[in-house]
Structure 1
Amino acid sequence: MGAYDDLIAYERETQALAQVMGRLSWDQETVMPKGAAHQRAEEMGALESVLHRRRTDPRVGEWLEAVDETALDHAARAQLRHILRGYIRAMRLPETLSSQIARVTSRAQGIWAEARAADDVAHFLPTLAEVVRLKREEAAALAQGGDPYDALLDDYEPGATGAGIAAMFDRMRPRLVELRERILGSDRHPAPLSGRFGAEGQMTVAREVASHFGYDWRHGRLDHSVHPFTSGSGTDVRITTRVDEGDPLNCLYSTLHEVGHGAYEQGIDPAYLLSPLGEGVSMGVHESQSRIYENQLGRSRAFCGWLHARLAEVFGQSGAADADAFYAAVNRVHSGYIRTEADEVHYNLHIMLRFDLERELIAGRLEVADLEEAWNERFQSDFGVAVDKPSNGVLQDVHWSVGLFGYFPTYTLGNVYAGCLYTALCAAVPSLDDDLARGHAETATAWLRENVQRHGGLYEPAEVIQRACGFDPHEGPLLDYLEAKFGALYRL
């Protein structure tokens, strides 16, 4: 066990340094002075160099070679699997490239935010072109002659392939489009919420909702950012949200989405702290938690009834005539521009657009200079609406600025996994709607913690879902859920 123990002790220090780097990213998005961007980019690049050297240290390879797997239990073999995967990936990447990506993407994040605020695509495109060039280099180095996009996707959803994702999307798209057309062609047209909802009141309700869904404030905090996100793992897990005083749903459901991510990290077995098992196993499984918290639970008729009453208490009105009108407003289907504000019917169509474009970018079949035009043409085709400004189009997401190519399809994978989990959850927790009607989700989140969250990286992604649900994950439960929910809501 000597080699294994030495390897785990070394990995623990590497994981601790990676957490520090994550904290720098959180700081950059929340409280860092704007004038510190260039210095922060240098700091991120320097720390990435340190991490890369640790991940490619020859001793890691020697320890991996020396470990006797037959003497290890299941958890230890899982630790070894993750470390070996990370070691192979790190060895394929030159340190200079890894450091340069960290430095450029840190700087690009601020440039993207400026361009988005000013609706100035030209301000961002040169930097994005640099990011894409570096990510193409990274993909080629990792792929070793294989598919470059698959090499990037594997970092977020191990085992997934672009071809497999594309095939799943091809199966999903016809049912989604058909459902959308039936909804938009119906005689039901729910009104959005109206009124003003002060920022302080929104944050009060957001914190209450986070508490009801199990977010642990002893080991977390809620802040503001341009694009809501979750940062950290173990005993320090931070979430952010944003506020629009004309639309409280933006704040509340962004918060609830991030609570799903945060609760996953907080719910992992403490024995895995600062180890490869101490984080969510994949972004698809991560998204399954954020999406089931936000949608199947948070947008349910039962929980919306409680939320309608709570908003009326805080603001003197909820923005809707009654609980039914509020539920309809929360789940209103419309062809909006913004992915993070999209209804459940349209959401995956947003992801399919981004997935196709980023695959083309990494393959070199689409250049950054042509990206805005390609985006606008595709959006018009898919949603029947012309993009009115870049912040509603190609500049709306932070992901490409920070180099997250291969990340977008995991959002829909998360929805698919969430559909499977919700089927199992409803069977396991008969009191679910009664609990949600009181504003509480403890029974649901306890089931998710026991069946998904506590395992961390112990199992492979699809195996996590299969073990929780009793069947292999597939898109059917999600599509059935959407058709049943919106068929009833729109009287189809």
Structure 2
Amino acid sequence: MTAEYDALMDFVRETEALAAISGRLEWDQETMMPRGAAPQRGAEMAALEGVLHARRTDPRMGDWLSASEESATDDVARAQLRHIRRSFERTSKVPARLAAEIARVTSETQGIWADARAGDDFETFAPALEKVIALKREEGAALAGDGDLYDAMLQDYEPGTTAADLEAMFGALRPELTDLRAAVREARAPARLTGIFDETAQMRLTRKLAKAFGYDMTHGRVDKAVHPFSSGSGLDVRITTRTSETDPFNCFYSTIHEVGHACYEQNISRGYLLTPLGQGVSMGVHESQSRIYENQLGRSRAFTGWLYGEMRDAFGDFGIPDEESFYGTVNRVSDGYIRTEADELQYNLHVLMRFDLERALVSGDLSVADLEAAWNDRFEADFGYRVDRPANGVLQDVHWAVGLLGYFPTYSLGNVYAGCLHEALRAALPDLDSQLARGETSGATAWLADNVQTHGGLFEPRDVIARARGAEPSEAPLLAYLKEKFTGIYGL
């Protein structure tokens, strides 16, 4: 490659290293930072964002890109340049003042949200959210030009996808999921998990689960947070989980979910470290990894048989008589308010609701003042019962507080992608269940590493799934999987 390409990549690696430091500050804010430090952290994040914005819009970038694009001959270099060009043009449209203000305000709003959630007080949170929405709409307008604001926001999370694409996919999902849920609710449900489960023992088992799914603890760690998340890339990828003494599944499956994200980052080719290719290509593909780890593998009949024995070792007799009953308990379809705790069947209905609400917020058709009422009305229409308090409703997710508008639909897109990958994985590993029954996930995780994770950002998001599946992404495999699974569990 040329000297211009080498100079560009050296500059970008330094920028990526600074961005990783910003990510570490965000991790600290969620896990370790004293609550009273929020205003100072907001100033720190704004200052760092100012530095990052200046580097990402440095005029030399344009010159280096033009010179490099003319001579790029290999796929990796072309992919690097594609990502750098997209970021450069996108970031250059956003004023530095606005980028720093968004970083400052969202950092502070995260703390306001946490307090409001703890106090079930949406009115305290609403003014801060109004400020975030206004800033993100300003950013969206700068990015969209004459185009659609929401489509512009989506590109941060799922490049190449539009709201119309998602609307068509979600329109196919909603009636099928609604009909299946109606049939399940009429059938006899598996037993619930009851009792008290020591939280220290939960954390011991959750770390065992993380390792069982291939999480490299020499390059990661497991901590606790209000909202479980994965953070980092390359050689430093951290996850969080949460515990409840009455609900160990929350801990275990949050961990497996976040390990899916973390393993994606850990398994990207090390040659891409601290470059645009050295991270997950999109949030939809990222979510496909977390969801296939959590659901198609972690909630399978085979793996729950192994987990049943582990739980008996950790907690003794906890009231579920055998492995088959435990499989039903793990996959029980239950009424509930919280998206992250929802069963596979109803999870996407939570996401589709948020997709519609945030599009209305972005377009201006829904005001923040009316958001709580709109949320409660839509939830009752979709789920058949009223939200009991704001922490179980409009305040449950951190995404809007930190400005992640356009993020929510990638959760359901990730489920669709996971369905496609699971279909291909089963075809490639006919003895998968016998492996999972021993608590052995390496066959499945190695297949995912080879076919998805190692590529990082080398291919476009849909192309990653299409290459692994051997066909274009479709919601059909996910719907077929859900119908087969819940028809069996509920005897439909």
Instruction: Give the Cα–Cα distance (whole angstroms) in 2 for the partners of residues 207 and 467 of structure 1.
Output: 32
Give per-residue Cα distances to partners, 1:262-320, cap 9 Å, x unaligned: 00000000000000000000000000000000000000000111111111101112442
Instruction: Give the Cα–Cα distance (whole angstroms) in 2 for the partners of residues 69 and 398 of structure 1.
Output: 43
Letter in 1 for 2:306: W
**Counterpart residue number, 1:460:** 460
Give per-residue Cα distances to partners, 1:328-364, cap 9 Å, x unaligned: 1110112310000001110000000000000000011
SS state at 1:277 partner: coil
Asked if 1:74 corresponds to 2:75, the answer is yes
Change in Cα spacing, 1:71 to 1:55, as seen in structure 2 (3 Å) is: closer
Instruction: Give the Cα–Cα distance (whole angstroms) in 1 for the partners of residues 397 and 32 of structure 2.
Output: 20
CA RMSD of aligned residues (A): 0.7
Change in Cα spacing, 1:226 to 1:273, as seen in structure 2 (3 Å) is: same
| 1:68 CA displacement | 4.1
> Quick check: 2:199–2:245 contact (8 Å CA) kept in 1?
yes
**Counterpart residue number, 1:470:** 470
- For normalisation by structure 2, the TM-score amounts to 0.99
| 1:415 CA displacement | 0.2
Letter in 1 for 2:179: E
| 1:66 CA displacement | 1.3
Instruction: Give the Cα–Cα distance (whole angstroms) in 1 for the partners of residues 29 and 192 of structure 2.
Output: 34
**Counterpart residue number, 2:400:** 400
Letter in 2 for 1:219: H
Give per-residue Cα distances to partners, 1:391-435, cap 9 Å, x unaligned: 110000010000000000000010000000000000111121111
> Quick check: 1:299–1:330 contact (8 Å CA) kept in 2?
yes
**Counterpart residue number, 2:361:** 361
> Quick check: 1:267–1:454 contact (8 Å CA) kept in 2?
yes
**Counterpart residue number, 1:181:** 182
Please identify runs of 4+ aligned residues in structure 1 that moved more than 3 A: 68-71
Give per-residue Cα distances to partners, 1:55-97, cap 9 Å, x unaligned: 0000001111111444420000000000000001111000000
**Counterpart residue number, 1:112:** 113
Alignment of 1:165-244 (within 5 A): 165-186=166-187, 188-244=188-244
Asked if 1:346 corresponds to 2:346, the answer is yes
Q: Which moved more, 1:313-322 or 1:167-176?
A: 313-322
| 1:163 CA displacement | 1.1
Letter in 1 for 2:5: Y
Alignment of 1:5-404 (within 5 A): 5-186=6-187, 188-404=188-404
**Counterpart residue number, 1:416:** 416
> Quick check: 1:319–1:326 contact (8 Å CA) kept in 2?
no
| 1:122 CA displacement | 1.0
Instruction: Give the Cα–Cα distance (whole angstroms) in 1 for the partners of residues 344 and 240 of structure 2.
Output: 22
Instruction: Give the Cα–Cα distance (whole angstroms) in 1 for the partners of residues 69 and 446 of structure 2.
Output: 36
SS state at 2:277 partner: helix
Instruction: Give the Cα–Cα distance (whole angstroms) in 2 for the partners of residues 128 and 191 of structure 1.
Output: 40
Instruction: Give the Cα–Cα distance (whole angstroms) in 2 for the partners of residues 124 and 71 of structure 1.
Output: 49
> Quick check: 1:284–1:410 contact (8 Å CA) kept in 2?
yes
Q: Which moved more, 1:288-297 or 1:191-200?
A: 191-200
SS state at 1:39 partner: helix
Aligned residues: 491
SS state at 1:231 partner: strand
SS state at 1:265 partner: helix
| Structure 2, unaligned runs of 5 or more | none
> Quick check: 2:277–2:457 contact (8 Å CA) kept in 1?
yes
> Quick check: 1:335–1:346 contact (8 Å CA) kept in 2?
no
Change in Cα spacing, 1:3 to 1:169, as seen in structure 2 (3 Å) is: same
Instruction: Give the Cα–Cα distance (whole angstroms) in 2 for the partners of residues 488 and 427 of structure 1.
Output: 21
Instruction: Give the Cα–Cα distance (whole angstroms) in 1 for the partners of residues 444 and 461 of structure 2.
Output: 20
| 1:257 CA displacement | 0.3
SS state at 1:438 partner: coil
Identity %: 62
- For normalisation by structure 1, the TM-score amounts to 0.99
Instruction: Give the Cα–Cα distance (whole angstroms) in 2 for the partners of residues 360 and 138 of structure 1.
Output: 17
Instruction: Give the Cα–Cα distance (whole angstroms) in 2 for the partners of residues 132 and 196 of structure 1.
Output: 41
Q: Which moved more, 1:319-328 or 1:86-95?
A: 319-328
> Quick check: 1:257–1:290 contact (8 Å CA) kept in 2?
yes
Letter in 2 for 1:410: T
